A and B are shown apart, each in its own frame.
Chain A
Amino acid sequence: DDKLLTEPLRHPDFFSVKELFTLKDLFDARVHLGHKKGCRHRFMEPYIFGCRLDQDIIDLDQTMQHLQLALNFTAHVAYRGGIILFVSRKRQFCHLVESTARACGEYAHTRYWQGGLFTNARVQFGPGVRLPDLLVFLSTLNNVFEPHVAIRDAAKMNIPTVGVVDTNCNPCLITYPIPGNDDSPAAVELYCKLFRMTIIRAKDKRRQSEAIEELR
Chain B
Amino acid sequence: TLRLICTTTAVQRKSVGASGPEKYTEAFIKKQIEEFNLGKRHLANMMGEDPETFTQEDIDRAIAYLFPSGLFDKQARPMMKHPTEVFPEQRKIQWGEDGRPFHFLFYTGKQSYYALMHETYEKFLNVQKHQDQLVPEDVPLQKEKRNLAGSRWLTKIELEEMLLEKLSDNDYSRFIQLLQKLVALPCADIEENYIQKFSKEVPVQLQKVVIEPLQYDEQGVAFSTGEGKRKTARATAVVYDNGTGKITVNGTDILHYFPVLQDREQLLFPFQFLGRIGKHDMVCTVSGGGRSAQAGAIRLASAKALRSFVTEKEVEFMRQAGLLTVDPRVKERKKPGQEGPRRKFTWKKR
Contact B106 A123 (CB under 8 A): no
User: Contacts A98-B104, A117-B107 given: A124-B20 contact, CB under 8 Å?
Assistant: yes
Considering the complex, give the chain A residue whose CB is closest to the CB of B106: A107
Contact B109 A123 (CB under 8 A): no
Contact A114 B19 (CB under 8 A): no
* Interface 9-residue window, one of A49-57, A62-70, A127-135, A192-200: A127-135
Q: Which residues of A contact B100 (CB under 8 A)?
A: 81, 83, 130
Interface string of B281-325 (1 = CB under 8 A from A): 000000000000000000000000000000000000000000000
Determine if B122 is an interface residue (Cβ-Cβ < 8 Å). yes
Within 75-114 of B, Cβ neighbours of A (below 8 Å) are at 93-95, 98-101, 104-110, 114
Q: Which residues of A contact B18 (CB under 8 A)?
A: 123
Secondary structure type dominating chain B contacts: loop
Report the bound CA distance from A109 to B93 in whole Å.
20
Determine if A38 is an interface residue (Cβ-Cβ < 8 Å). no
Determine if B23 is an interface residue (Cβ-Cβ < 8 Å). yes
Considering the complex, give the chain A residue whose CB is closest to the CB of B105: A108
Distance to closest chain A CB from B48 (angstroms): 45
Contact B107 A107 (CB under 8 A): yes
Determine if A126 is an interface residue (Cβ-Cβ < 8 Å). yes
- Contacts across chains A and B counted by CB atoms under 8 Å: 60
Considering the complex, give the chain A residue whose CB is closest to the CB of B109: A114
Q: Which residues of B contact A106 (CB under 8 A)?
A: 104
Contact B107 A111 (CB under 8 A): no
Considering the complex, give the chain A residue whose CB is closest to the CB of B110: A111
Interface string of A85-108 (1 = CB under 8 A from B): 100000000010011011001111
Distance to closest chain A CB from B67 (angstroms): 34
User: Contacts A107-B104, A109-B108 given: A130-B99 contact, CB under 8 Å?
Assistant: yes
Determine if A122 is an interface residue (Cβ-Cβ < 8 Å). yes
Report the bound CA distance from A126 to B90 in whole Å.
12
> Which of A85, A98, A114, A124 makes the CB contact (< 8 A) with B118?
A98
Determine if B125 is an interface residue (Cβ-Cβ < 8 Å). yes
Report the bound CA distance from A98 to B114 in whole Å.
10
Contact B125 A95 (CB under 8 A): yes
Residue among B17, B93, B104 with the highest chain A CB neighbour number at 10 A: B104
> Which of A83, A111, A128 makes the CB contact (< 8 A) with B114?
A111
Q: Which residues of A contact B258 (CB under 8 A)?
A: none
Determine if B121 is an interface residue (Cβ-Cβ < 8 Å). yes
Distance to closest chain B CB from A126 (angstroms): 5
Distance to closest chain A CB from B69 (angstroms): 34
Q: Which residues of A contact B107 (CB under 8 A)?
A: 85, 107, 109, 117, 132
User: Contacts A95-B121, A106-B104, A117-B109 given: A129-B95 contact, CB under 8 Å?
Assistant: yes
Chain B interface residue count, CB cutoff 8 Å, equals 24
Task: Determine the interface band of chain A, counting residues with CB < 8 A from chain B.
Answer: 20 to 34
Within 244-287 of B, Cβ neighbours of A (below 8 Å) are at none
> Which of B95, B98, B105, B110 makes the CB contact (< 8 A) with A98?
B105
Contact B93 A128 (CB under 8 A): yes
Q: Which residues of B contact A109 (CB under 8 A)?
A: 105, 107-108
> Which of B20, B99, B110 makes the CB contact (< 8 A) with A123?
B20
Report the bound CA distance from A102 to B119 in whole Å.
12
Considering the complex, give the chain A residue whose CB is closest to the CB of B18: A123
Report the bound CA distance from A152 to B59 in whole Å.
56
Contact B109 A126 (CB under 8 A): no
Distance to closest chain A CB from B125 (angstroms): 7
Report the bound CA distance from A85 to B125 in whole Å.
24
Contact A123 B104 (CB under 8 A): no
Contact B104 A122 (CB under 8 A): no
Distance to closest chain A CB from B340 (angstroms): 55
Contact A102 B104 (CB under 8 A): yes
Residue among B95, B110, B121 with the highest chain A CB neighbour number at 10 A: B95
Q: Which residues of A contact B114 (CB under 8 A)?
A: 111
Q: Which residues of B contact A124 (CB under 8 A)?
A: 20, 109
Q: Which residues of B contact A114 (CB under 8 A)?
A: 109
Q: Which residues of A contact B125 (CB under 8 A)?
A: 95
Interface string of B320-333 (1 = CB under 8 A from A): 00000000000000
Report the bound CA distance from A127 to B98 in whole Å.
15
Distance to closest chain B CB from A105 (angstroms): 8
Interface string of B1-34 (1 = CB under 8 A from A): 0000000000000000111100100000000000
Q: Which residues of B contact A123 (CB under 8 A)?
A: 17-20
Distance to closest chain B CB from A84 (angstroms): 11
Distance to closest chain B CB from A35 (angstroms): 28
Considering the complex, give the chain A residue whose CB is closest to the CB of B99: A130
- 5 pairs of residues in contact across A and B, judged by CB atoms under 8 Å: A95-B121, A105-B104, A109-B105, A111-B108, A127-B19
**18 additional contacts (CB under 8 A) given A95-B121, A107-B104:** A81-B100, A83-B99, A95-B118, A95-B122, A95-B125, A98-B118, A99-B122, A105-B104, A106-B104, A109-B105, A117-B107, A123-B18, A123-B19, A125-B20, A126-B23, A128-B93, A128-B95, A130-B101
9 closest residue pairs by CB, A with B:
A130-B99, A126-B23, A102-B104, A109-B108, A109-B107, A111-B108, A114-B109, A107-B104, A98-B118
